[in-house]
Amino acid sequence: MLLQISEPGAKAPAAPKRVAVGIDLGTTHSLVATVRDQRPVVLEDAEGRVLLPSVVHYHADRQVEVGYEARAWQSEDPANTFVSVKRYMGRGRGDLPDHLDIPYRLADAPGMVQFETRAGTVSPVQVSAEILKALRERAVRSLGEEIGGAVITVPAYFDEAQRQATKDAAKLAGLEVLRLLNEPTAAAVAYGLDQGAEGIYAVYDLGGGTFDISILKLTRGVFEVLATNGDPLLGGDDFDRAVYDWLLRETGLATPTPGDARRLLGAARSAKELLSERTEAPISVVLSDGTRVERTLSRWVFDTLTESLVKKTLSPVRKALRDAGLAIGDVKGVVLVGGATRMPCIRQAVAEFFQQPPLTDLDPDQVVAIGAALQANALVGNRGGDDWLLLDVIPLSLGIETLGGLAEKIIPRNSTLPVARAQEFTTWKDGQTAMSIHVVQGERELVSECRSLARFELRGIPPMVAGAARVRVTFQVDADGLLSVSAAEQTSGVEAKIEVKPSYGLKDEDITRMLEDSFRHAQDDIEARRLREQKVEGLRLLEATEAALAEDRALLSEDEAARIYQGMAQLRQTLDGSDWEAIKAAVEALNQASTEFAARRMDHSIRRALAGQKLEQLQV
């Protein structure tokens, strides 16, 4: 094929364009955005609203309503009105947070939760598909053409099952998913942070019912998620609650009717939102018995009422920083996401915590959708230049086989590409000069249950005592998902290397099956792992004791030696069995029996080393 070259100075002919959209499929609200004339725009519904409440209501005749119309049914018909369905995506019954109170009838089915509605059984994927369909229709209407593809955002902590569920929902809604994008990354892209050089960014996302903090690291145009944390049951709704409780206390209303409770809660939310602009908010509610509740809520009182909620967001922030191994001063910028970050008390707390004002130029409701739209636009090739991000994640963990047939994970699944991680390993036997490296992929603890990707050997390690060699194994996955593994012995510099294509041939069904397996067998795996670890520990101790006896048997009395031999025999016996606790006990017993021996050997070798040395030489 010949490459085309345009005349110098002439503009290249515009490629036929496809319209791509970015979708923020949120827990409380969803949005769709696109790029028009190089600028991101958030698309409106027929009434000029950009937010679509993520609420779906099912009628008996299978008619479905989405958004504001659906939300109107929430208190009247909660069992058929789905709010916050995102919490259930890709989740089984056992995965749901403990304190989640569920107004729905859950169907008795294995796998992902299913809801019984009056229109039949529906899955979270189907409910989400209704929201996506509504957004797709909105986009088609306002753009006047079919959508070429969509980037849909997901929380950074979403696992493969949750991501897959999101993709399936898009498929059901007739959308081609160009890519799933992490929400905090989308927010960072919206602020153009990917255009910067390098740095650490924190994304603080307080939505309606969830709080997420993500620590991102930008290097050469690629964001890596260093840590995520949050509180799945903390959001703007809790601030509404605090105002509502205050209203009840103020009015002495102990048990309002469901209708009054809804009105009071609605008024509480409006007052909260108004207080983001003003310092006082009037509240006026007419109750079902005709009485009128009139109060004024000041920002000062509101801040006092919600102080503990604001504080509650900061401990996940601390944890995330700690997990990422970073200090507050390492953070170059803070991005605010989520409608609830409009509250001045939040902005102030974030500014104080990070010792810098957060980025607030973009609308916190829209920032994720805008980033997704920019990414979608780039992916369909409407953006010039080649300096664009290539973000993808590893679907299953990558690691190597260690002693006892255990899989040691080196790159955890869902790591953003490209990624490199290294870990040090050592030799098992004295004088060992080669090491066999077996690269595996999967979530299971045992190598036999993972997928074998490649094997290679590191040879030429200088002979040393067991445990002295330091072999650094580095995993590197480039933006196209190509994995290379290298192993280098640190003291001698000998090196070996191999390239593998990690997910080659792994179909989506395989991934799902492997994940399901890993959930199902998690308990067995822990048992098996303990057993193998204890066996390795037991063998190691036997070997070391044998070596010590061979060298320094003379330091022991007959009695002492007999006790050690007995301990060894006992340990050997337990090693043939499969009771990890018995092995552990035998290891401890042998350790105890040989403590004195070890101490004597130490003394002996120190004396041997010191013999003939002058005192002053020792004092340096």
List the catalytic residues. Answer: 24, 86, 183, 205
Contact partner, 342, from ligand ADP, Mg ion, none, Cβ < 5-8 Å per class: ligand ADP
Contacts with ligand ADP in 143-182 (CB under 6 A)?
none
3-state class of 17 per DSSP?
Answer: coil
Secondary structure of 212-262 as H, E, C letters: EEEEEEEECCEEEEEEEEEECCCCHHHHHHHHHHHHHHHHCCCCCCHHHHH
Per CB under 5 A, the segment of 23-31, 125-133, 467-475, 564-572 that binds Mg ion is: 23-31
Cβ pair 207, 313 in contact under 8 A: no
* 338 vs 502 by CB, closer to ligand ADP: 338
269 binds, among ligand ADP, Mg ion, none (CB under 5 to 8 A by kind): ligand ADP
Report if residue 269 touches ligand ADP, rule: CB under 6 A. yes
Distances (CA, A) of 222 to 157, 198, 200, 387: 18, 9, 12, 10
Q: Give 437's strand partners.
A: 456
Residue 404's nearest CA partner among 434, 438, 453 is 438
Cβ distance to ligand ADP smaller for residue 366 or 574: 366
Q: How far is the CB of 28 from ligand ADP (least distance, A)?
A: 3
Shortest distance, position 14 Cβ to Mg ion, whole Å: 34
Q: Is 342 in the site for ligand ADP (CB under 6 A)?
A: yes
| 602 Cβ contact partners less than 8 Å away, ≥ 6 residues apart | none
Least separation in angstroms between residue 260's CB and ligand ADP is 20
Name the residue nearer to ligand ADP (CB basis): 270 or 512.
270
Q: Is the peptide bond before 184 cis (omega within 30 degrees of 0)?
A: no
Exposed, middle or buried by CB within 10 Å (0-12, 13-18, 19+), for 274? middle
Is 236 a binding residue for ligand ADP by CB under 6 A? The answer is yes
Identify whether the C-beta of residue 112 lies closer than 8 Å to the C-beta of residue 126: no
Half-sphere exposure of 581 (CA within 13 A, CB side): 0
Check residue 358 for interaction with ligand ADP (CB under 6 A): no
Residue 556 makes contact with ligand ADP by CB under 6 A: no
CB closer to ligand ADP out of 84 and 117? 84
Shortest gap between Cβ of 238 and ligand ADP (angstroms)?
8
Partnered with residue 335 across adjacent β-strands are 203, 359
Closest CA to 531 of 576, 591, 592, 466: 576
**Separation between Cα atoms, residue 424 and residue 274, nearest integer Å:** 56
Which among 201-209, 253-261, 377-385, 445-453 is the span making contact with ligand ADP, rule CB under 6 A?
Answer: 201-209
Question: What are the start-end ranges of the E strands in 54-196?
Answer: 55-58, 64-66, 81-83, 105-106, 115-117, 120-122, 149-154, 177-182
Q: Which of 90, 184, 333, 338 touches ligand ADP by CB under 6 A? A: 338
User: Which range of residues in 26-34, 213-221, 280-288, 404-412 is near Mg ion by CB under 5 A?
Assistant: 26-34
In 3D space, the residue among 350, 442, 432 whose CA is nearest the CA of residue 399 turns out to be 442
Is 303 among the residues that bind ligand ADP (CB under 6 A)?
Answer: no
Check residue 316 for interaction with ligand ADP (CB under 6 A).
no
From ligand ADP, Mg ion, none, interface partner of 236 (C-beta below 5 to 8 A by class): ligand ADP
Query: Smallest gap, in angstroms, from Cβ of residue 206 to Mg ion?
Result: 9
In angstroms, rounded to a whole number, what is the distance separating the alpha carbons of residues 128 and 56?
Answer: 8
CB nearer to ligand ADP: give 231 or 443: 231
- Interacting span for ligand ADP (CB under 6 A) from 20-28, 114-122, 310-318, 568-576: 20-28
Binds 395: which of Mg ion, ligand ADP, none (CB < 5-8 Å by kind): none
Query: Is position 231 an interface residue for ligand ADP (rule: CB under 6 A)?
Result: no
Q: Which does 276 bind (CB under 5 to 8 A by kind): Mg ion, ligand ADP, none?
A: ligand ADP
Phi-psi domain of 436 (left: phi exceeds 0; alpha: psi -120 through 50; beta: other): beta
Question: Binding of ligand ADP at residue 210 (CB under 6 A)?
Answer: yes
State yes or no: residue 53 binds ligand ADP (CB under 6 A): no
Contact flag: residue 90 with ligand ADP (CB under 6 A) = no
Pairwise CA distance, residues 509 & 89, whole Å: 17
Supply the minimum distance, in Å, between the C-beta of residue 122 and ligand ADP: 20
Alpha helix locations (H) across 457-521? 508-520
**Residue in 343, 151, 166 with CA at minimum distance from that of residue 239:** 343
Each residue 179-218 as x (binds Mg ion by CB under 5 A) or -, in order, gives: ----------------------------x-----------
CB closest to ligand ADP, residue no: 236
Give the 3-state secondary structure of residue 146: coil
Can you tell me the distance from the alpha carbon of 55 to that of 84, in angstroms, rounded to the nearest whole number?
7
Q: How far is the CB of 294 from Mg ion (least distance, A)?
A: 34
List phi, psi (to 5°) of 312: -60, -25
Residue number with CB closer to ligand ADP (132 or 483)? 132
Nearest to 228 by CA among 236, 217, 220, 219: 217
Determine the 3-state secondary structure of 483 from DSSP: strand
- Residues contributing to the site for ligand ADP (CB under 6 A): 26-29, 207-210, 235-237, 269, 272-273, 276, 338-340, 342-343, 365
- Residues contributing to the site for Mg ion (CB under 5 A): 26, 207
